[in-house]
Amino acid sequence: MILLRILFPGSCYFNAACLPQQVHLTPRKQIISRNHPKITAMATNGDHSRVEKYAVVTGANKGIGLETVRQIASKGVTVVLTARDEKRGTDATCMLHNMGLTNVVFHQLDVLDPVSIESLAKFIKDRFGRLDILVNNAGASGVVVDEERLRAMNIDPETWLSGKATNMVQQVIKTSYETAVECLNTNFYGVQRLTEALLPLLQLSPSGARIVNVSSLRGELWRIRGDDLRNELGDLETLNEEKLDSILKRFLKDLKENTLEAGGWSLMLPAYSISKATLNAYTRFLAKRHPNMLINCVHPGYVNTDINWHTGPMPVEEGARGPVKCALLPDGGPTGCYFDQTEVASF
C-alpha cells in the first residue's frame, strides 16, 4: 500500500483509499502550500470575510476528543487532531476526511514528551502562525482495572456518580505508585507543559484565545475529604504552580506510605481525582493571569468512553457538547469557570 502525505507535510499520512471524493491529488509543491485551498474553503464555510480560526485537540483519536474535533471542525475551524499513536491518529483523521471535514489535520503528540510538545508548537507556528483554541483532553485513569469483574458487578450510574461505589470497587480497581505518577504527569503536568509551550501562539489570537481543560466531577472540591486540602485548592488568592506541585508531591508520598485516608485524599480513583482537582485550580489562576483569553475547565458528563471502562451512559456526541461550547464561547463569555457539561457550576 502506498502512503501519500497530504495537506501538511510531517503531520498527516493517508492511503489513497481513504481520501474523500472532493480531494484531488496534486503535485507536492501545491499540496504543501500554507494556504491550501481545501483548508481555506472549509475553514470559512464559503464566507471569505470570516477570520479563519485554528484549534488543537489532544487525545483526539477516539471518544470525547474525536467527537470534539468533529463538532469544532463542523463549525469551519481548522483543527489539529493530536494523538500519541500515529496510526490511530491518522485513521481518525482519515475518517473525518471521508465525512467531508478536510479542515482536520493530524500531528502526533505525546504530552509526556517535551520533544513531542516542542514539535507540535513548531508545526503550528510554521503552518498557521498562531493558535485560537486549545482543548486539553488527553487523560489517564491512574488505576489498573479487572474489567471483567467490574462489568460483572453491574454498578448503576447513580451509584458511581454519588461515590457510593468507592468501597464496592476496591478489589477490582487498584492504584499503584507507577499508575499514579503516569496519571499526574498526563492529566496535570502534561496539560501544564503543553499549555505553557503554546501560550505564545495563543496570545496572537486576534479575538482572544480559548483554552478548555477537560476535567471531571471527581475533581470537585466538595468530594475532597480533607478540610485543609480542600481549602488549599479553593484559595484562589494563593494558588500558583509551586503550591499545586507541593500538593501532588504530598499525595505521592502518602500513596507510597499507604496513608491516603489519613491524609484526607479521595479514595475513589485517588490519583485521577487529585489530578483533576489540581487541573481545575490551574485553570482558575491561568485565567486570572490572562484576562484577554477565555480559559475554563469542563466536566463532560458520565460518558461511555475507555477511561471509565464504558460504564457511562452518555454518548460521546453529548459528552463533547461542553468542551465544544467552551471552545467556541463568544467574546465576553465566562472565564476561570468550571462547567458541568454546558452549564457553569461550583468548583
The pTM (predicted TM-score) of the whole model is 0.82
Q: In degrees rounded to 5, what are phi and psi of residue 94?
A: -60, -45
pLDDT tens, position by position, 126-165: 999 999 999 999 999 888 777 777 777 777 777 766 777 7
Instruction: Please give the C-alpha separations between residue 105 and each of 23, 61, 77, 257, 340, in angstroms, as whole numbers.
Output: 14, 12, 11, 45, 29
What whole-number distance in Å separates Cα of residue 306 and Cα of residue 269? 15
Catalytic residue among 13, 54, 177, 272: 272
Contact 196, 189 (CB under 8 A): no
Closest CA to 145 of 176, 185, 100: 176
Active site residue 54: no
Average pLDDT over residues 273-300: 97
Span 130-345: which CATH code?
A: 3.40.50.720
Residue 313's pLDDT is 61
Q: Could you state, in order of their start, the residue ranges of all structural domains in the chain?
A: 130-345
Cell of 35: 494556504
Distances (CA, A) of 173 to 116, 178, 268, 274: 31, 14, 9, 16
What would the pLDDT profile of 20-63 be if each residue is shown by its tens digit? 333 333 332 222 223 333 333 333 333 434 689 999 999 999 99
Answer yes or no: is pLDDT of 78 > 80. yes
Q: Which cell goes with 93? A: 483523521
- β partners of residue 144: 174
The values of phi and psi at residue 237, to 5°, are -70, -30
Pairing mode, if any, of strands 294-299 and 173-174? unpaired
DSSP structural state of residue 314 = B
